[in-house]
Amino acid sequence: MLTDSLPENRQDIVFITVILLPLIILVGILIYLPAVDSLIVSFTNENLRIRRLPKFIWLENYSKLLENSEFWIVTARSLLVVALTLPLELLISLGLALLLTEVFPGRAMVRTLVLLPWMLPPIVNGFLWGWLLNGEYGALNGLLYQLGIIDEYVTWLRNPDTQVIWVAVVQTWTRFAFPTIILLAGLQSIPKDLIDAAKVDGASSWQSFKSIVLPLLMPSFAIALTIEFIAAFQIFDVIWTLTAGGSAGGAINPFTKTLMLYNYELVFRDLRIGLGAALSYLILFLSLGVAIVFVTRLYNQAVKS
Amino acid sequence: MPLYRNFNYIKRIWIYFFCAIALLWAIGPIYWIFVSSISTRMELYATPIKSWFPSEPTWDAYIRLFQGGGKYRGGDVSPTEGLMWTSLLNTLFVSIISAAFVTFLSTNAGYVFARMKFRGKGFFFFFLMLMMPLPLWVSIIALFFMISKAGLIDTLSGMIMLFIVFLLPLGIWLMSTFVREINPEIEEAATIDGCNRWQLMRWIVYPLSKSGMAAVFLVSFLTVWNNFLLPLIFTRSPDSQMLTVVLSLFVGQYEVAWEDMAAAAVVTMLPPFLIALFFQRFLIRGMTLGAVK
């Protein structure tokens, strides 16, 4: 390729500089500088509520967080959201992907419509479902009542213990399209001959699904799981309008407070900047760490089986 | 043969049955929010619900929303007057400008990374890409104070700048893949004919990567439009509010009437909805490539 092997000349250097330099400066100032700044702040006891010069306390913020029971409760809740969301999401998207690999009239339309929720603002999705689940006028109540499944309206979102479940449902609704697309692409890359050969050998469709399709889908699962893990682990918007309650500076509902909401509260409500910055780094490491473990494990499994 | 056909027929029925369930799950909630927004209060608040489509559809909620502001659930004075128009225009403005900038800047940078050789290329690419998979939350906390000091808090230009920077890695990565798909011989021919790099961009690269640029533009537009966290943190006054924040205020702070909130939600989701309906191919290409890397 000629364009690739052109030697560096002055014109090209000007061209590259004019294009890249502003971007590098922008990204440097607006992403790296604040990221480093946050890290430094996380070693101080900066708190805007208290008038004092911030002092370096090094790892004290981190140890304070790790010794705080609220941190562990909130982390456990974030993991619970993940644990509830991922299986539901992958089940739905696997089912949908299998459905959409079939050839039938109207498939393109069904596909387009089914993938829609992914592209809507999550903040709307939270509100949307809050309204569907409304205890007085909600459509879910109306539907179940008409079908005779419930005798009287249920206030779905009132019980603190089940709020997290609804958060997971709405998160699933918001995100299931993405794993569907990934699994669909994975399914379409499986050679048809393989399944036909299995059929000739007398395998039932369940058997060929279990021993041919599923193992070959593992890499797609790994990708989908990782991305969905990070999305669910850092859930924010959906909860804000579904169950967090009171955006006017009121307290954030403690029963659906996940890591991101906790972090938002620490920094922008309580103004405990140092502690909040430390938490943001903990979230970063937690999501990265889990993501890496996730992928390697699934990948190994797929390779071994 | 008849048996086979019969089997197929039954399979069809099952397929459409599952399609119906899938559509109810995916589209049902969207349908209901739209129905709620055009229902009369009487019908909407009926318990148990009697009609799944309003007997007298009305645009009243939208008119109220844009003229006097959403109605309080109880009273009739509204603190939200004018909020819808301002935030709608703000959101449109910020989304279009940011997406346009991201598309332009990342096409150029994508070309540089896809086609040119220079010292430090790997380093610069890494430098620009590193933050893409990482949550930018760690930057946001310190950014808030930096932006405040710079006096850019609560301004649309500040928002646009942040969105551009946050979307650049994705844009550059997407465009460098798209530019690689262009046949290099065309560029070579143009170079031999005496085109310099800028002319090459203008006459070859931009025209030939139109669909890639459309994908980057649409994905960026959608990301900005749908974003909530940035406007939540970086805007304060009613004049610089974005739609997603206004909707959250309706839900949490102002306790606006349900039908009016439904209308506000429909307005907020309408552009993404239409884009997803008509340009889904572009979106999916951009969004999956970006997520999978």
| Same domain, residue pair B8 and B149 | no
Q: What is the rounded CA–CA span in Å between residue A132 and residue A144?
A: 12
Are B218 and B282 in contact by the 8 Å Cβ rule? The answer is: yes
Dihedrals φ, ψ of A175, to 5°? -110, -10
Domain that holds residue B206: 83-292
Assign B72 to helix, strand or coil.
strand
Taking the CA of residue B253 and the nearest CA in chain A, the distance in Å comes to: 5
- Chain B window 235-254: which residues touch A at a Cβ cutoff of 8 Å? 244, 247-249, 251-253
Do B88 and B216 share a domain, yes or no? Answer: yes
CA distance B124 to chain A (A): 8
Provide the domain count of chain B. 2
Cα–Cα distance for residue pair A74/A235, rounded to 1 Å:
12
- Quick one: A197 and A249 in the same domain? yes
State pTM to two decimals. Answer: 0.91
* CA distance linking residue B164 with residue B99, whole number of Å: 7
Average pLDDT estimate for A177-196: 89
Q: How many helices (H) and strands (E) does chain A have?
A: 16, 0
Q: Are residues B247 and B113 in the same domain?
A: yes
User: In whole angstroms, what is the distance from residue A290 CA to residue A188 CA?
Assistant: 29
What single string gives the DSSP state of each residue in B223-283? HHHH--HHHHHH--SGGG--HHHHHHHIIIII-B-HHHHHHHHHHHHHHHHHHHHHSHHHH
Q: For chain A, how far is it from start to end, CA to CA, in angstroms?
A: 42
Which tokens hold the place of B144?
Answer: 């808030």
Please list, in sequence order, all residues whose beta carbon lies within 8 angstroms of the beta carbon of residue A4, skipping any fewer than 6 positions away. B115, B116, B117, B184
Q: Are B135 and A279 in contact (CB under 8 A)?
A: no
Inter-chain contact A236–B228, Cβ cutoff 8 Å? Answer: yes
What are B184-226's pLDDT values in tens digits?
899 889 988 888 889 999 999 999 999 899 999 999 999 999 9
What residues of chain B lie within 8 A of the CB of A122, using their CB? 226, 228
Per-residue pLDDT at B76: 54
Pick the range with the lowest mean pLDDT from A82-86, A170-174, A301-305, B36-40.
A301-305
Q: Which residues pair with A56 in a beta bridge?
A: A44
Residues in chain B: 293
Same domain, B186 and B262: yes
Indicate the range of A43-47, A289-293, B161-165, B166-170 predicted with least confidence.
Answer: A289-293
One domain for residues B88 and B23: no
Among A97-111, B6-20, B60-74, the least confident range: B60-74
Work out how many CB contacts closer than 8 A connect A with B: 280
Of B45, B112, B184, the CB nearest to A1: B184
B51 touches chain A (CB under 8 A): no
Residue B64 lies in a domain: no
Is the pLDDT score of B26 beyond 60? yes
Spatial distance between the Cα atoms of B54 and B61, rounded to a whole number of angstroms: 14
**Contacts for B271 with CB less than 8 Å, ≥ 6 apart:** B92, B95, B221, B225
Per-position DSSP letters for B69-111, written without gaps between them: -PPBSS-S--TTTTHHHHHHHHHHHHHHHHHHHHHHHHHHHHH
* Distinct helix (H) and strand (E) counts, chain B: 15, 0
**Domain housing A293:** 59-304
Instruction: Give the domain CATH number at A272.
Output: 1.10.3720.10
Domain check: are B29 and B90 in the same one? no
A113 neighbourhood in chain B, CB within 8 Å: 23, 26-27
User: Tens of pLDDT along A194-240?
Assistant: 888 888 888 888 888 888 889 889 888 888 888 899 899 999 999 99
Per-residue pLDDT of B259-280, as tens digits, reads: 889 999 999 999 999 999 999 8
pLDDT confidence band for B249 (50 / 70 / 90): confident
CATH number at residue B137: 1.10.3720.10
Give the one of B118, B138, B248 whose C-beta lies nearest to A38's C-beta.
Answer: B138
- Distance between CA B188 and CA B198 in Å, rounded? 14
Is B288 an interface residue toward A (CB < 8 Å)? Answer: yes
Does B131 touch chain A if contact means CB atoms closer than 8 Å? yes
Rg (CA), chain A: 25
Total domains in chain A come to: 2
Cα–Cα distance, A201 to B88 (Å, whole number): 61
CA-wise closest residue to B167 among B237, B232, B215: B215
Do B275 and B167 sit in the same domain of this protein?
yes
> Does the pLDDT value for residue A122 go beyond 80?
yes
Taking residues A84-100, report their average pLDDT. 96
Q: What angle do CA B198, B199, B205 make, to 5 degrees?
A: 85
Domain check: are A255 and A142 in the same one?
A: yes
**pLDDT, tens only, B89-98:** 999 999 999 9
What residues in A contact B112, CB-CB < 8 Å?
A: 15-16, 19-20
Q: What is the largest CA-CA distance in chain A?
A: 79
**Any domain includes A278:** yes
Do B43 and B130 fall into the same domain?
Answer: no
Q: Is there a domain that residue B67 lies in?
A: no
For B107, nearest residue in chain A (alpha carbons):
A19
Asked whether residue B206 is assigned to any structural domain, the reply reads yes
**Among B19, B197, B137, B118, CA closest to A286:** B137
Per-residue tokens: B237: 């006054």
Q: How confident is the model at residue B6 (pLDDT cuts 50, 70, 90)?
A: low
Q: What is the pLDDT of residue A291?
A: 72
Which residue of B29, B116, B226 is in closest CB contact with A121?
B226
Closest by CA to A119, choosing from B281, B117, B50, B283, is B283
Model pLDDT, residue B293: 47
The interface predicted TM-score (ipTM) is 0.90
Query: Rg for chain B (alpha carbons), in Å?
Result: 24
Cβ-Cβ contacts under 8 Å for A21 (sequence gap 6 or more): none
- Measured CA to CA in angstroms, residue A139 lies from A130, A145, B179 at distances of 10, 10, 48
What pLDDT, in 10s, does the model give residues B105-156?
999 999 999 999 888 898 999 888 876 666 678 889 899 989 988 888 999 9
Q: 3-state DSSP call for residue A44? A: strand
| Structural domain contains residue B75 | no
Residue A108 shares a structural domain with residue A172 = yes
* Spatial distance between the Cα atoms of B97 and B101, rounded to a whole number of angstroms: 6
* Cβ separation A24–B124 shorter than 8 A: yes
Distance CA(B213)–CA(B171), nearest Å, equals: 9
**SS3 call for A90:** helix
What is the C-alpha end-to-end distance of chain B, expressed in Å?
47
Give the span between the Cα atoms of A257 and A69, in whole angstroms: 13
pLDDT band at B9 (very low <50, low <70, confident <90, very high): confident
Looking at the fold, whether A136 and A274 belong to one and the same domain comes out as: yes
| CA distance to A230, B83, B85, B154, B156, per residue, from B238 (Å) | 32, 7, 11, 9, 12
* Cross-chain Cβ contact B48/A114 below 8 Å: no
- Same domain, residue pair B52 and B97: no
Same domain? A161 vs A211: yes
pLDDT at residue A34 is higher than 90: yes
